[in-house]
Amino acid sequence: MDDLINIQKKLVPDVITIMSNRYRILQSIHFLQPIGRRVLSTHLGMTERVLRGEVVFLSQQGLVHSQSTGMRLTDEGERVLHRLENVMKHVSGIPQLEKQLKNILHLSRVVIVPGNSDEQPWVKNEMGLTCVKVMESLITDNTVIAIMGGTTLAAVAEMMHPFKQSQKKPLFVSARGGLGEQVENQANTICAKMAEKADGHYRMLHVPDQLSEESYHSLSMEPSIRESLLLIQSAGMVIHGIGDAMTMAKRRRSSQELLDKIRKEHAVAEAFGYYFDQNGKVIHKVKTIGLQLEELNDERPVITVAGGKSKANAIEAFFKKGPDSVLVTDEGAAQQILQNNHF
C-alpha cells in the first residue's frame, strides 16, 4: 500500500488532496449526522460554495443523502468511510508520527489527527471526534466517566454521541469545580453536555475551583460533596486536557504573586491544578476539591486531549511525570515535540 501511495503522490498529487478532503467530509457527516451544509462548512473550515460542489459529487456517487433535517451517509457511504480510515492514515504518514511520539513521551498509545488546531479551529473538533471514538473503544461495565474542564474538553462535548459499545447509559461526573470563567469551559457544563449528547446521566460538583485551607476542609466534610468525591474516585475512565501554565493562571484570576512565580520558575503546563516546569517538576499546586493527579493509576484508562503547536511544551512537560495515558493530539503539537527532541 505504501508503494502505491508514494507513486500516486508523485504522479497525481491532486488525487491525494481531493481524497483527503472528501474523507474529512464523510467522516464529519458520519459523526454529526444529520447535519446542515452551513454548520458542516463551519466545522470543516471550508466555504459553503466549495462544500456544495463536494456534496453534490458525493451524492451522485451514492455516498451522501440530503433531506430536510440535514445530510446523512448512506450505507455505501458508511462502508467507504470505514475502508478509507487506514488508507488515509498511511497517506498522511501519521502511523510513523504516532510511533515516534509514543516513544518520546513513554505512552501506551498516541492518536494524532491531521492539522494544527492553533491555526485551524476545526482541528480541535476533529480531536474531539477522535476522543469520543477512543472513549467508545475503551468503555467497560463501569460506565462512570470523570470529566475535567477546558476548551478542548468543550470540543469533545460538542462531538459526543451515544456509545454503541455500551449496554448501560454512561454516568458523566464533573471531576473539578468551576474556574469562575466562561461557563461553557467549566467541567460542570461540559459534563452535562456530554451526558445529554451521549444519552446518559451526569453528576455535577458544586464547589469553587480554588479554596482556602479552611474552606477546603469545611467543604470536604459536606455529605453531598463527599458522595460526589467517592463517585469521582470510582470512575472507570478519566478524560482531561493540558493547559498552558500562564494562560490557566490568568483564567483562574490568580494572584500577582503566583503569576510572578510562574514566570520566575518557567512553568509551562497545568493539569489537575498542578503547575509544571519543562522538566515536569511541580512548582505550584492549587488547593482544589476534585480528582487529584496522584489518584490516577493503571487500573482505569486515562485519556488526555491536547493539541496545537503552542501546547507542545506543555504536553511534553506534563508527561515527564504524568501517568500513562492515551494521548489524543494533532500534527501541530506532534511535529513540534519531535522537533524539540531533534527528530
pLDDT in tens, 34-69: 899 998 888 787 899 999 999 999 999 999 999 889
201 and 327, same domain (yes or no): yes
> Whole-angstrom Cα distance, residue 185 to residue 167?
29
Domain range enclosing 65: 2-90
122 and 35, same domain (yes or no): no
Q: What percent of the chain has pLDDT over 70?
A: 88
Is residue 253 scored above 80 in pLDDT? no
Identify any residues that bridge with 275 across adjacent strands, giving them in sequence order: 270, 284
Instruction: Tell whether the torsion through CA atoms of 315, 316, 322 and 328 is positive or negative.
Output: positive
| Average pLDDT value for residue range 152-170 | 86
Q: Residue 272 maps to which CATH number?
A: 3.40.50.1360
71 and 198, same domain (yes or no): no
User: What's the structural domain count of the chain?
Assistant: 2
Final residue in a domain of this structure, among 72, 90, 108: 90
Q: Find the range with the poorest average confidence among 39-43, 148-152, 198-202, 224-228.
A: 224-228
pTM, to two decimals: 0.80
> Whole-angstrom Cα distance, residue 232 to residue 69?
38
- Averaged confidence pLDDT in the chain: 85
220 — pLDDT class (breaks 50, 70, 90)? low
Which has more confidence, 327 or 258?
A: 327
Is residue 24 scored above 90 in pLDDT? no
| Average pLDDT value for residue range 10-20 | 75
172 — pLDDT class (breaks 50, 70, 90)? very high
- Helix or strand or coil: residue 212? coil
